[in-house]
A = this chain, B = another copy of it.
Amino acid sequence: MKSTSKTIETPVMSNKYAQKKVVAIEAAAQVFADKGFHGATTQDIAAVMGIKQGSLYYYFRSKEQALQEVCEYGFENYVAQMDKICARAQPFQATMQMIITSHLTNYRQKNNAMKVHNDQRLYLPKERRVLLKELGTKYRRLLESTISDGISSNALRADIDPHFVAYSIIGICNSWGAYLVRDEALDLFDTIEQCADLVLRGILN
């Protein structure tokens, strides 16, 4: 019992900080997603958190650090989802459906951090992108080997380039993701379905 409660209690203090740090990251994500990294001010972020500007530096060493953490937070989550999806043994089409669903659902649920990662990570200096690069590589590999597997299993045409297709899927999804964020009336499931249909079957008769 004790040990159980301990396991829960021990990180109480750091938990409080950790909890509020997450709040901080999400506030920053929201603001960066809205105004872009350079268009956002630390004041904006602090306002979303309900604290004063100076206090923000209790959670981030700098604005750039905040961008880095937002990007990592958003991308880590997303890559973890991909990992789970690709780990399941299931036919190709189901996997593709889930990947698109995961991607677009993230946007609709205002996963601002992912949007920020996609749109603003290039404003980070290279040193701050090391982890992101690793995650990106992992992610691309997951997607590309999913497609390669699809080819091997004859589900997909043999003459497509997995790398090219992977990148294209990301492109379509990001494009529709941005749309989903801007237009709340847009139906999520409809969008998912059409994306998948387009990618899988093309438009030719």
- For the residues of A in contact with B, the DSSP-based class is helix
Distance A36 CA – B36 CA, assembled complex (angstroms): 9
Interface size on A, residues (CB 8 A): 39
Given known A-B contacts A39-B37, A198-B202, A201-B202, A168 and B157 have beta carbons under 8 A apart: no
Distance A168 CA – B170 CA, assembled complex (angstroms): 11
Interface residues of A in 13-70 (CB under 8 A from B): 35-39
Given known A-B contacts A171-B171, A174-B171, A203-B160, A198 and B165 have beta carbons under 8 A apart: yes
Interface residues of A in 160-196 (CB under 8 A from B): 160-161, 164-165, 167-168, 170-172, 174-176, 179, 191, 194-195
Distance A38 CA – B198 CA, assembled complex (angstroms): 36
CB < 8 Å neighbour of A175 from B174, B179, B197: B174
Is B175's CB under 8 angstroms from A123's CB? Answer: no
Find the B residue at minimum CB distance from A173. B171
Is B172's CB under 8 angstroms from A203's CB? Answer: no
A199 at the binding interface (Cβ < 8 Å): yes
CB < 8 Å neighbour of A203 from B176, B191, B200, B204: B200
Interface of A toward B, CB cutoff 8 Å: 35-39, 119, 123, 147, 150, 154-158, 160-161, 164-165, 167-168, 170-172, 174-176, 179, 191, 194-195, 197-205
